[in-house]
Amino acid sequence: MKNRVLFSLKVSFSITILTVSSLTLLLLLLSGCNSSSSQNNKPNILFIAVDDLRPELGCYGSTAIKSPNIDKLAGEGMVFTRAYCQSAVCNPSRASLLTGMRPDSIRVWDLRTDFRDNVPDIVTLPQYFKQNGYESVAIGKIYHNNIPDTLSWSEPKMYLDDYPFDPDAVYRDEKILEEIEKRKEAILKAGKEKRYIDRFGKWYIKQYATEGPDVPDNAYFDGAQTDAAIQKLKELKEGEKPFFFAIGYYRPHLPFNVPKKYWDMYDRNKIPLADNQFIPKNAPLMAINNLRELRSYTDFKQAKHPAYGSLTEEQARLLRHGYFASVSYVDAQIGRLMDSMEKMGLRDNTIVILWGDHGWKLGEHNSWCKMTNYEIDTRVPLIISTPDMKNTGKKSAALVEFVDIYPSLCELAGLPLPSDLQGTSFVPLLDNPDRPWKKAVFSQFLREGVWIAPDGIEYMGYSIRTDRFRYVEWINWETKELAAKELYDHETDPQENENIVDNPQYAGYVQTLAGQLKAGWRKAIPAQD
């Protein structure tokens, strides 16, 4: 009897061990499956940057421009109608967005500084996704042209062999190409070295501000890179990792060189001109863009500072026509990209975000290009579409900033937020676009002394944009002394046409806004639920 009981206990114990072991093995297998499944179910990120794209789009209320594909994306997502960059020029804006840090924190204020020189160990947005199991790849202009930041990507940044490193100045018209060759010869005959016109092994030179030959879309970089991007999407789809795919379009950056068919979409004589073709009344001189970018093209090298002269109506119409054609050209490429995403079955698990790095003047304030602290330059397009978006086709007028993109994408992808980010995730706005949000957003611009007259001093302009006002303080960058102030009331002056900082009726507002500007972005953070 005793032996029989012992045998029973041994059998029972053995079965128990077997059952527990089997269960443990099963749980481990399930855990592994769940881990793999979780990794595969992470959303992809399609990160679309468009150079110099201002909110001149159908989804932003423009009736003059043709942007059906971006408008379609907006209908599938959310449009932020009051989004702002941290600095209205390429390198500082992009470096700030991609690091989640403000320009003063990374000390990037110009087109020359590599943020890695100042903050070498900072983890960028695509780099953070790479560290968290994503295949992080890019093509086109994501960072500034000559500062690509290889640490951000899983593989070397993609360029096209038939294009220069910086394809801004690619021309296809035969007459223009002949003129460029003559200019090159003249430069060499004048005794200047080849390096003056040789960029990264490709001879090219800025000639005219516009071009419209009858060529296919992929004759220019943006069309060719879309071909390459679609092929890359096929590879990424077959990969084992979720992807962070950044695609940077060059148009509508100058020169406005796009195929003829996009010029033909518009009647130049019917394109509306800016209705505030004058510099803001009482504006300090350092606040005005001096057109240095536009003057680098031979047909506009005689353009005067906006305080001292204007373009002709013919020139203004040409540039507006070229800008509109360029936007429609890029819009078509984005349409091809999104159609390919749909056909590949990638759309349902991909977060798509589209942004333009800053605004752009098209005759407003008697100016052209970017490089100011005004609304026309700091306000940017920002559109996001997520797979599970509840409020498709909605708009949010909440104040948001480019530094908010980094934490927002992390939250949407289920990644923990790095502790040093200086933005606020706008994900709560996707569920409730009208909820109370930031009290203010902040931008800045360094007016470099060599480019302004008459004093040649460098000034930093610090701007705060609240629901009603824009307030700016210009600081002597060397002495740190206050040099000038600006105030614009958007209730009465949405185009910022008159600086009213010295109007005694606004003295109280100036004092309050000066305090808010000094307190900075931390005091403007929205209350959390």
How far, rounded to the nearest angstrom, does the alpha carbon of residue 267 sit from its chain's CA centroid?
29
Catalytic center residues: 90, 144
Q: What is the mean pLDDT of residues 303-307?
A: 93
pLDDT at position 188 is 80
Outline where 311-355 has alpha helix (H): 313-343
Taking residue 93's Cβ as centre, other Cβ atoms within 10 Å add up to: 25
pLDDT at position 184 is 83
pLDDT at position 183 is 85
pLDDT at position 82 is 98
pLDDT at position 164 is 60
| Cβ within 8 Å of residue 466, ≥6 positions away | 399, 439, 440, 513, 516
Instruction: Supply the DSSP symbol for 158.
Output: B
Q: Residue 287 corresponds to which tokens in the numbers above?
A: 């606040």
Classify the phi-psi angles of 107: left when phi > 0, otherwise alpha if psi is within -120 to 50, otherwise beta.
Answer: left
Tell me the helix, strand and coil percentages in the chain, rounded to 5: 40, 15, 40
| Cβ within 8 Å of residue 403, ≥6 positions away | 86, 96, 97, 100, 101, 102, 421, 422, 423
CATH for 43-171+208-434, options being 3.30.410.40, 3.40.50.1820, 3.40.50.720, 3.40.720.10 = 3.40.720.10
**CA 122-123-129 angle, 5° bins:** 175
Percentage of residues in the chain having pLDDT higher than 90: 80
Instruction: For tokens 């990037």, name the residue.
Output: 108
Burial class (CB in 10 A: 0-12, 13-18, 19+), 175: exposed
* Cα 370 from Cα 525, distance rounded (Å): 27
Give per-residue pLDDT as tens, 448-506: 875 564 567 899 999 999 999 999 999 999 999 999 999 999 999 999 999 999 999 99
| Cβ within 8 Å of residue 260, ≥6 positions away | 212, 213, 214, 215
pLDDT for 10 beyond 70? no
Per DSSP, the residues of 211-243 read E--S--GGGSHHHHHHHHHHHHHHHHHHSSS-E
Q: Residue 71 corresponds to which tokens in the numbers above?
A: 């408008």
pLDDT at position 206 is 86
Outline where 385-446 has alpha helix (H): 405-412, 427-431
pLDDT at position 231 is 95
* Cα 445 from Cα 454, distance rounded (Å): 19
pLDDT at position 191 is 76
* Cα 1 from Cα 4, distance rounded (Å): 5
pLDDT tier for residue 196 given thresholds of 50, 70 and 90: low
pLDDT tier for residue 328 given thresholds of 50, 70 and 90: very high
Q: By three-state DSSP, how is residue 42 classified?
A: coil
With contact defined as beta carbons under 8 Å apart, do 239 and 155 qualify? no
